[in-house]
Amino acid sequence: MTDLSKTDAAVAEPAAAGSPAPSAFLEVRDLKIHFPTDDGVVKSVDGLSFQLEKGKTLGIVGESGSGKSVTSLGIMGLHTVGQYGRQKAKISGEIWLEGKELLTADANEVRRLRGREMAMIFQDPLSALHPYFTIGKQIIEAYRIHHDVDKKVARKRAIEMLDRVGIPQPNQRVDSYPHEFSGGMRQRAMIAMSLVNNPELLIADEPTTALDVTVQAQILDLIRDLQKEFGSAVIVITHDLGVVAELADDILVMYGGRCVERGTADKVFYEPKHPYTWGLLGSMPRIDRERTERLNPVKGSPPSLINIPDGCAFNPRCPYADIPKGDITRTERPELREVQSGHYSACHLPREDRERLWNEEIAPKL
């Protein structure tokens, strides 16, 4: 195995589970998050591995139900409270953050990391902010959990943060309630709250989905600027490749709880190696190019995470499932293989067919 820490790519093939502590800032190894339900086990995340360095941004892309949000909650240690209710999630694998393994760590220790070392921005700031407390109170609380300061100092800090995220008249708005803010303002406030402790890892879960298109761009710019300023590692989770296009250094495409393609943003955007990624690219609205023939986005619906089909999970929806010989697509699960240096894909399509399809059918239509 090569010395991965020296490669330029933030994303490298991680070590197998059980290996000694990695040197990467964040490393996830063979993460599995399963929810036992009355109908069966929901395998939301089923063997996911990746690395992330400080100052870099990773985009995790996939449809809803692909396991991307659960992954982020798993990292934060918040996966136990899922929508599946009474039974606790089963989590396995390793999550290393700055040399500390989180899954085996004491729950209280992880709690203290939350908000300080790693922070999160949620999709819908209206529901993610407590409706009964002022913005200021919520930011102050976030700050004072991790800093032993009095309210005055914390308030100053909150105003400072609101100012930094571009909220006008932060002195007054600090005492406003979430419902008194516009959608974009709320998300700015949310970002201010998550960054108040200078976290080293910021996870943004669909940070712009609930916002107007015009506001979306502003928020993305803000995240990018702040990342530069704070030097944190950022994970952006989205179903929309457009969001990560300008933001991410690396992209990880998830499908059915697994990674199907991973590589630098350039590689994934310009030389995608997986039919699912093609589909995602096809459904991406692009302003810079007139399209005469619109490529259909991915047809069908995501697989049930309880009964993930044998073989390739994408098989039922894959337009090219017939190409590989035999019934390998239905019986054997494709492994994540390095198809280029630092570019991984999990697909049974023979290399030649894949190149041909990309070059002849897909790329021209994008």
Stretch that binds another protein, among 36-44, 121-129, 153-161, 270-278 (CB under 8 A): 121-129
Stretch that binds another protein, among 73-81, 149-157, 230-238, 266-274 (CB under 8 A): 73-81
Tokens of 89: 């999630």
If binding is defined by CB under 8 A, does position 2 make contact with another protein? no
Tokens of 287: 């302003």
Tokens of 303: 């697989």
Q: Which is nearer to another protein, 79 or 267 (CB)?
A: 79
Provide, for the chain, the percentages of residues in helix, strand and coil under a 3-state DSSP scheme, each rounded to the nearest 5: 35, 20, 45
If binding is defined by CB under 8 A, does position 284 make contact with another protein? no
Which residue carries 């302003």 as its tokens?
287
Per-residue buried b or exposed e for 19-53, using 16+ beta carbons within 10 Å of the residue's own CB: eeebebbbbbbbbbbbbeeeeeebbbbbbbbbbbb
Q: Determine the distance from the C-alpha atom of residue 355 to the mean position of all C-alpha atoms in its chain, rounded to a whole number.
A: 28
User: How many CA atoms within 13 Å lie on the side-chain side of 220?
Assistant: 25
Among 76, 97, 135, 321, binds another protein (CB under 8 A): 76
If binding is defined by CB under 8 A, does position 272 make contact with another protein? no
Least separation in angstroms between residue 229's CB and another protein is: 21
Identify residues 171-190 at the interface with another protein (CB under 8 A).
177, 179
If binding is defined by CB under 8 A, does position 86 make contact with another protein? yes
Among 159, 191, 193, 247, binds another protein (CB under 8 A): 193
Q: Which is nearer to another protein, 78 or 215 (CB)?
A: 78
Amino acid 129 reads L
Amino acid 289 reads R
If binding is defined by CB under 8 A, does position 305 make contact with another protein? no
What residues make contact with another protein under the rule CB under 8 A?
73, 76, 78, 81, 83, 85-86, 111-116, 119-120, 122, 124, 127-132, 134, 141-142, 145-146, 177, 179, 193-194
